[in-house]
Copies of this chain bind each other. A is one copy, B any other.
Amino acid sequence: MHRKVTSHDVARAAGVSRATVSYVLNGRSGQSITETTRQRVLTAAAKLGYAPSTAARTLRRGQSDLVLMLLPPEPLGRALAMVLDGASDQVEQAGLRLIAHRLPDGGAAAPLVRSLVPAALILATPLQEPDLDALQATGVPMASLQQDHADPLGPDLGIGALQVQHLARSGHRRIGVALPAASGYQWRAEARLAAIEEACHRHGLQPPAVERINLDPADASGAVGRWLFADTPVTGVCAFDDEYAFALLAGLSMLNRSAPSDLAVIGAEDIPLARLAVPPLTTVSVHARRIGVLFAQLATESLVEPGGFGTVTGAPEQNLPPVALVRRASA
Contact = CB atoms under 8 A, between A and B. Distances in A.
Interface of A: 1-2, 4, 49, 51-59, 62, 64, 75-78, 81-82, 84-85, 88-89, 92, 97-102, 104, 110-112, 114-117, 134, 137, 139, 215-217, 243, 246-247, 249-250, 253, 272-273, 275-276, 278
18 contacts: A1-B137, A51-B110, A52-B115, A54-B55, A55-B59, A55-B117, A75-B81, A76-B76, A76-B81, A77-B78, A84-B102, A85-B102, A88-B102, A98-B101, A215-B272, A215-B275, A216-B275, A278-B278
B115 A276 contact: no
Contacts of A1: 137, 139
A59 B53 contact: yes
Contact of A99 (B4, B78, B99): B99
A99 B69 CA distance: 10
B104 A276 contact: no
B114 A51 contact: yes
A112 B137 contact: no
Nearest to A50: B114
Copies of this polypeptide in the complex:
2
A115 B110 CA distance: 24
Contacts of A215: 272-273, 275-276
A49 B101 contact: no
A62 B98 CA distance: 22
Contacts of A75: 81-82, 85
A135 B278 CA distance: 48
Contacts of A247: 276
Contact of A115 (B53, B78, B112): B53
B100 A100 contact: yes
Contact of A101 (B97, B116, B217): B97
Nearest to A101: B99
Nearest to A103: B88
Contacts of A85: 75-76, 102
A117 B53 contact: yes
A241 B215 CA distance: 19
Nearest to A62: B4
Can you list the 9 inter-chain pairs with the closest CB atoms, starting with the nearest?
A: A55-B58, A76-B81, A51-B114, A55-B59, A99-B99, A51-B111, A88-B102, A54-B115, A51-B115
Contacts of A250: 276, 278
Contacts of A272: 215, 243
Contacts of A57: 115
Contacts of A249: 276
A116 B276 contact: no
A56 B54 CA distance: 10
A241 to B, nearest CB: 10
